[in-house]
Amino acid sequence: MTMDNQQLWTQFFQAEPDRVVFLRLGRFKLWLARAEREWALAFAEGSDTDLHSISRVPMDVVPADLKWVRYGFRKAPNVFKVLPRTPDRPIVLRPPDLIHLPPGESVPVCAVFPARVAIQFGEGSGCETDSVQTQVLSDTWFGSREEGHLCYAIEHPVGDFESGIEAQPNEIVCPVQIENQTKEDLVFERLCLRTRHLSLFAGRNHLWSTPVHIRYTEGDPPARFDYPVQPPSLEKGLRRVYQAEQPEEKVFHRFVFGRTFGADFQAQVRK
């Protein structure tokens, strides 16, 4: 059953003991099975698709090589809910071309990156699983050797809203406004985005995050991040589906842009 993206993130679904629930969320595939005293889940990554669907299938059509994770209960709840989460590390975004931002200028871009997913078994204070990636990402290092961060490298190019947004149902679109308040050109080669401050909203076809406003100044640290509390205005009727674990209105960071600003060292490891 193909469903509206907002339904997927906001409602509970029932599971029958003799059937396996199969969820397709873009390239992310998830199987859920319920017994009298346990739940089991397995997941895999498939090819790109714009599907967000849920179906109930017999066990004999489930792939035999899946690795299941099991959760035990006195009596297993008969409903579950799919919960979106932000990446568990900062993400490093690279635009397809260098962007030079003259003094006093600003530019809007959109960052697109995959969500993580957790499952809640039962309503109210039900059991919540650890979140899992909906897409395997590469590791990268951002910052100096002493103060850097282990991050995820996002191969999806950073785009703008005028050229259109291409996002899969398992992906988050984050509107970013970059403003140069210095007296020199700001060269945007790479951008480190801390995702722990982002709340999430369900749109028609994909997830949206809290918008981000980055002001680059002459101060130390030079970059100020503003996270407005309201949802992005680029789609109407958005529904909040995740509150940031560390919500902040204003955050300052030293390492934000690529190697042009600051000592920047990168070691990328392909998984």
Share of the chain above pLDDT 90, in %: 36
Strand pairing of 138-142 and 99-101? unpaired
Percent of residues, the chain, with pLDDT higher than 70: 85
Average pLDDT of the residues of the chain: 82
Helix residue spans in the chain (DSSP H): 5-10
pTM, rounded to two decimals: 0.85
Q: In Å, how far from its chain's centre is CA 47?
A: 18
- Local confidence band at 144 (pLDDT 50, 70, 90 cut-offs): confident
Structure tokens at 125: 């204070």
Question: Is the pLDDT assigned to residue 81 strictly greater than 80?
Answer: yes
Rounded CA separation 259/20 (Å): 49
Judge whether 240 and 229 are in contact, CB under 8 Å: no
> pLDDT tens digits, residue range 208-236?
999 998 888 877 767 788 888 788 888 89
* Whole-number pLDDT of residue 100: 85
As a whole number, mean pLDDT of residues 42-66 equals 85
Q: What is the mean pLDDT of residues 239-267?
A: 58
List 139's β-bridge partners, or say none. Answer: 152, 269
- pLDDT attached to residue 261: 36
Query: What pLDDT, on a 0 to 100 scale, did the predictor assign at position 262?
Result: 35
* Amino acid identity, position 38: E
Residue 13 has pLDDT above 70, yes or no: yes
**Token pair of 52, please?**
């967000």
**Which pairing describes strands 212-216 and 171-180: parallel, antiparallel, or unpaired?**
parallel
pLDDT at 161 over 90: no
Q: Which run of H or of E encompasses 233?
A: none
User: How far apart are alpha carbons 129 and 261 in whole angstroms?
Assistant: 40
Residue at 231: amino acid letter: P
| DSSP string for residues in 3-15 | --HHHHHHS-EE-
Tell me the two tokens of residue 150.
């282990």
Sorted by where each begins, the domain ranges of the chain are 5-84, 88-114+134-253
More confident residue, 269 or 157: 157
Of 178, 199, 213, residue with least CA distance to 241: 199
Q: Quick one: DSSP state of residue 170?
A: T
pLDDT band at residue 257 using 50, 70 and 90 as cut-offs:
low
Structure tokens given for 118: 């957790």
> For the segment 165-221, what is each residue's pLDDT rounded down to a tens digit?
778 889 999 998 989 988 888 887 788 888 888 999 999 889 999 999 888 887 776
Alpha-carbon radius of gyration of the chain: 20
Least confident segment among 11-15, 65-69, 201-205, 262-266: 262-266
